[in-house]
């Protein structure tokens, strides 16, 4: 399933759950705002994770990378703390064919 479809499912499901809770339990609008904020931050971290992993895949498949860097290992886990929450993603570690340098590209 692609990320856009996942995001749409999360938004749709949580939107209707939050709206239903507001109406049925007679919660106030502030509760709806907090729940919506939490949901949007969750969606944002999902999108960032997917973007970072897509970039890693593009680098891994690029001809320029293949000419100069070996894949040392894949699936290293990295967590970034952001204003919308922690984003945990997988990335690839490389070794330069010419200098022996190691790096995440």
Q: How do residues 12-34 score in pLDDT, each as one tens digit?
A: 999 999 989 888 887 788 999 99
Q: How many CB atoms lie within 10 A of CB 93?
A: 16
Q: 16 to each of 32, 36, 83, 93, how far by Cα in Å? A: 11, 11, 26, 42
What are the tokens at 101?
């340098």
Residue 1: pLDDT over 80: no
Rounded distance between C-alpha atoms, residue 92 and residue 15, angstroms: 36
For 1-21, what is the mean pLDDT? 91
pLDDT tens column, 38-95: 999 999 999 999 999 999 999 999 999 999 999 999 999 999 999 999 999 999 999 9
Instruction: Give me the sheet containing 85-96, strands edge to edge.
Output: 69-82, 85-96, 102-103
pLDDT at res. 28: 87
CA angle 67, 49, 87 (to 5 degrees): 120
């Amino acid at each position: 399933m692609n990320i856009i479809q996942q995001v749409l499912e999360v938004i749709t499901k949580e939107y209707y759950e939050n709206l239903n809770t507001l109406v049925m339990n007679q919660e106030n609008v502030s509760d709806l705002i907090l729940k919506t904020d939490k949901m949007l931050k969750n969606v944002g971290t999902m999108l960032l994770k997917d973007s970072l992993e897509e970039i890693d895949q593009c680098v891994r498949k690029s001809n320029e990378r293949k000419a100069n860097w070996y894949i040392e290992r894949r699936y290293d886990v990295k967590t970034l703390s952001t204003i919308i929450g922690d984003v945990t993603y997988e990335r690839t570690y490389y070794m330069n064919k010419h200098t022996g340098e190691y790096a995440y590209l």
